[in-house]
Structure formats: C-alpha cells, structure tokens
Amino acid sequence: MPLVTTEQMLLRAQAGGYAVGAFNVENMEMVMAVMEAAEELKSPVIMQTTPSTVKYAGLDYFLANVRAAAQRASVPIAMHLDHGDSFALAMQALRTGYTSIMIDGSHESFEENIRLTKSVADACAPSGISVEAELGKVGGKEDDLDGGDGGYTDPMQAKEFAKKTGITSLAVAIGTAHGVYKGEPKLDLDRLSEIREVVSIPLVLHGTSGVPDETVADCVRRGICKVNYATDLRIAFTKGVTGFLKEQPDAIDPKKYNKAGKEMVKEYVKSKIKVVKSEGKA
C-alpha cells in the first residue's frame, strides 16, 4: 500500500492503548527486516532516518527503499525524518516525499523552539504531513546528535508548546538517552503521567534502546503512542553479520552475510512490536 502519515496511525494507537514502533533504518536489509516483521505480526510501523543517515546516501535513496517496501506490504508504513535539525532539512524531506517529519528544536530556548517548530508545522499542514517535535532534551549521544546530560519536560510548558505550535505528536524527556546506556535508566514515570493529563496529542518516547521492556510497556500504559528504537537495531545487524563471517570467514557474497544481519534485525523488531502491543493492529 502507499506510504501513510503518522497522525492517524498514532491517534488510533492512543485510542487503543498501544504504541507504534518507530525503527531507524540504515540500509536496504534493515528496511526489509522491519517490513517483514510488521507483515508477519500485522502491525503498523514507522521507519525513520536521522540527519546523519541522510547525509550518507540522501533522502531520496532511503525514501525509495521504504516506499518499495510499503508497496509490497499490506500493513500501514510511514516514513519519518527523525531529529530533523533545521527548517531547511525538514522542507527538503517534505518535498522529497517523507510522510512524517520531526523538527528538533530542543537545544534552543523555549521561545525559539516554539518559533522553529511552528514554522515547520505551518509549512507541512497544507500537505497533511505529520510533524513531531521535542520539548525538554533527551540526553546521550548518537550519530551527530549530542543531547548532553538531557533535561526533563515540564508538563505545563508541554501544554503551552503543543497549543502554540500545531504539532501532531510530542517527544518528551523523562530520563531516557540516545545511544548505549552505561547502566539501567531510571525514568520519571510520574512526570509522564502528568504530561499526559495536560497534553492531548500523542506522546513519543526517544532513546528506548536498552530500556527494559516492562518499563516501555508501563510508558505505553501511561500514554506513549510512538516508541523509537535505533541503537539496538544497529547492534542486531552487526551481530548478525559478524557472527556469519566468524563462522564463514571466506564468505565474499554480501547477500549472504547481510541476510544474517537482516534476520537478526527482524527478530528484534518483532519482539518490540509485541512490547508496544501493536501486533494485529494494522
């Protein structure tokens, strides 16, 4: 089916008490893995790329891969720009054909974040393209993204931010971080509940790789509608490839060792679809 936007996908998740997994894809095999996992479990799914990934090959390359996967699929698939770092990149993604865009102004002041975010939301509205933003700052480092020590989302600021910007979903900072955790993360779940009470649009959880599944499930129960996974997909793909090459060091066919990576990613994605409870929700 054609690519879809995330707005109605996430509103259905919000109404149904589940979340949609959003998986960062780095190559064709990871796209295939996410699509196959979603098909097998009859789940909606979001595929996404960061600015660093986009720099590697271009928005059009990644969109073409995901669009081809969507055309073969019977489940809803959206293509999302993750952590768009400028108005220019957001507009480039819009023109290229991405069906969902994140503009991340969390490193700016509250007022500048509102201004930047509203400018992107206003530009995307005529096309019906969904816009995600972030308030507070999800910490950690991944690719070119450096969130430092992070900073928590203030519930009343979140209410004002959502009202003034016109976004369709909001990423909140409750103690998660990008990249690999050094220990088990401690999330402020009460803060999440407080935000849910005053913000009506779907909420998004970033930095989820490494967060215990039971904690993610609790976040979904408290109102998270989109859950991002990135680092652990890279780890899964790399383990698959390196494991294959360890057993067959003379292998020279990329299709064979990349398939091993793809299968590892597929099983990981299937496990997270079950955690967020989107299985059978397509």
User: Is 182 inside a domain boundary?
Assistant: yes
pLDDT of res. 140: 46
Beta bridge partners of 165: none
User: Is 97 inside a domain boundary?
Assistant: yes
Chain centroid, CA 65 distance in Å: 17
Whose CA is closest to 219, among 182, 281, 255, 173? Answer: 173
In which residue ranges of the chain is pLDDT below 70?
A: 139-150, 178-183
d(C-alpha 175, C-alpha 3), whole Å: 32
User: Is 13 inside a domain boundary?
Assistant: yes
User: Is 2 inside a domain boundary?
Assistant: no
Whose CA is closest to 87, among 109, 64, 115? Answer: 115
Annotated binding site: 83, 104, 134, 178-179, 206-209, 228-231
| Catalytic residue ranges | 82
Query: What backbone torsions phi and psi does residue 227 show, to the nearest 5 degrees?
Result: -120, 120
Give alpha helix (H) positions in 51-198: 51-57, 59-72, 87-96, 110-124, 155-165, 189-198
CB-facing half-sphere around the CA of 239: CA atoms within 13 A: 12
Query: What backbone torsions phi and psi does residue 48 show, to the nearest 5 degrees?
Result: -145, 155
Tokens of 77: 């698939």
Tokens of 282: 């397509």
Element (H, E) at 80: strand 77-84
How many distinct structural domains can be found in the chain? 1
User: Is 200 inside a domain boundary?
Assistant: yes
User: Is 32 inside a domain boundary?
Assistant: yes
Q: Could you report the per-residue pLDDT of 68-88, keeping only the tens digit for each?
A: 999 999 999 999 999 999 999
User: Is 252 inside a domain boundary?
Assistant: no
Tokens of 50: 């960061």
User: Is 263 inside a domain boundary?
Assistant: no
Classify each residue of 130-142 as buried b or exposed e, where b means 16 or more C-beta atoms within 10 Å of its C-beta.
bbbbbbbbbbbeb
Beta-carbon neighbour count of residue 190 at 10 Å?
A: 10
d(C-alpha 239, C-alpha 26), whole Å: 15
Domain span at 133: 7-232+269-275
Annotated binding site for dihydroxyacetone phosphate: 179, 207-209, 228-231
Inter-residue contact 42 to 75 (CB < 8 Å): yes
Residue 80: CATH number of its domain? 3.20.20.70
pLDDT of res. 209: 82
Query: What backbone torsions phi and psi does residue 160 show, to the nearest 5 degrees?
Result: -65, -40
Beta bridge partners of 140: 178
